[in-house]
């Protein structure tokens, strides 16, 4: 996957761009000593040896249950997904441009409107965007200039404005239920606590009260009951 990519000097792939934005949003939470070694390995591997669209699963598989249940780990996952929404909005608004190299090594800008398409978010997480180049649609590696990305975070006050905008974002009840069911299906028999459900749904702007309503429709752990031991 990633070892076949060519990322020119001064540029970064979209997956690592999301990590950069997440760190800029909540720098205290992303200091090196705050991350579990395996967790740090996961984030450094996104777009290189690991797929960002499977971040939650990487965390689940590579971290022990006590490690991944730590609030800081969950918050950093939320930071990453928040960064994906924020960067997509910024690219679509033209605040920053995504670029790609063609077969001859020539630079081209990715049209801003491409990020408003239905797969805009998926393109950021996968690191590749499909572009209509006449007769064919071609998959191109998404590249961003590091200095432009750092300037965007600084000039927009991403550590405040991104958090505020994302906190205000909400989704419909139907969409919230769909996301919640997908989250629970992913967890399988490892039933989350109310706090874990709330932290996960926070990324979609779903309030604690709405989460409590969603929890009435699924199986929950009995109050005071310990989680199943790790197998």
3-state secondary structure the chain: CHHHCCCCCCEEEHHHHHHHHHHHHCHHHHCHHHCCHHHHHHHHHECCCECHHHHHHHHHHHCCHHHHCCHHHHHHHHHHHHHHHHHHHHHHHCCCCCEEECCCCCEEECCHHHHHCCCHHHHHHHCEEEEECCCCEEEEECEEEHHHHHHHHHHCCHHHHHHHHHHHCCCCHHHHHHHHHHHHHHHCCCCCCHHHHHHHHHCCCCCHHHHHHHHCCCCCCCCCCCCCCCC
**Band (222; pLDDT cuts 50, 70, 90):** low
CA 164/CA 118 separation, integer angstroms: 24
How do 99-101 and 128-132 pair as beta strands? unpaired
**Band (207; pLDDT cuts 50, 70, 90):** confident
> For the chain, which residues make up each domain, given as ranges?
2-156, 170-226
CB-based contacts of 178-185 (< 8 A; 24+ apart in sequence): 179/204, 179/206, 180/206, 180/211, 180/214, 180/218, 181/218, 184/218
64-87 tens-digit pLDDT: 988 887 778 888 888 898 899 899
Question: Could you tell me which residue, 128 or 207, shows the higher pLDDT?
Answer: 128
- In the prediction, which pLDDT does 171 show? 76
- pTM to 2 decimals? 0.72
Q: What percent of the chain has pLDDT over 90?
A: 55
**Band (164; pLDDT cuts 50, 70, 90):** low
Question: Could you tell me which residue, 212 or 33, shows the higher pLDDT?
Answer: 33
Contact indicator for 98, 109 with CB cutoff of 8 Å: yes
**Phi, psi (deg, nearest 5) at residue 98:** -85, 145
51-65 tens-digit pLDDT: 999 998 899 899 998
Q: Which of 11-25, 108-122, 165-179, 215-229 has the lowest mean pLDDT?
A: 215-229
């Amino acid at each position: 996957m990633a070892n076949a990519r060519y990322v020119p000097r001064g540029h970064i792939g979209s997956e690592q761009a999301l990590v950069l934005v997440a760190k800029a949003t909540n720098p205290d939470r992303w200091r090196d000593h705050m991350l579990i070694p395996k967790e740090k390995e996961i984030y450094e591997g996104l777009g290189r040896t690991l797929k960002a669209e499977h971040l939650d699963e990487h965390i689940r598989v590579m971290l022990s249950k006590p490690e991944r249940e730590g609030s800081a780990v969950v918050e950093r996952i939320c930071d990453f997904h928040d960064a994906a929404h924020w960067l997509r909005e910024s690219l679509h608004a033209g605040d920053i441009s995504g670029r790609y190299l063609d077969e001859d090594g020539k630079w081209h800008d990715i049209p801003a409107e491409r990020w408003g398409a239905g797969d805009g978010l998926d393109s950021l997480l996968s690191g590749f965007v499909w572009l209509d180049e006449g007769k064919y649609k071609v998959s191109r590696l998404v590249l961003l200039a590091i200095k432009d990305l750092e300037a965007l975070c600084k000039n927009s006050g991403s550590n405040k404005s991104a958090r505020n905008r994302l906190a205000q974002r909400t989704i419909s009840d139907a969409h919230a239920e769909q996301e919640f069911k997908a989250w629970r299906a992913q967890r399988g028999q490892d039933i989350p606590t109310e706090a874990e459900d709330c932290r996960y749904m926070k990324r979609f702007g779903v309030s604690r009260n709405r989460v409590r309503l969603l929890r009435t429709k699924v199986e929950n752990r009995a109050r005071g009951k310990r989680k199943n031991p790790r197998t």
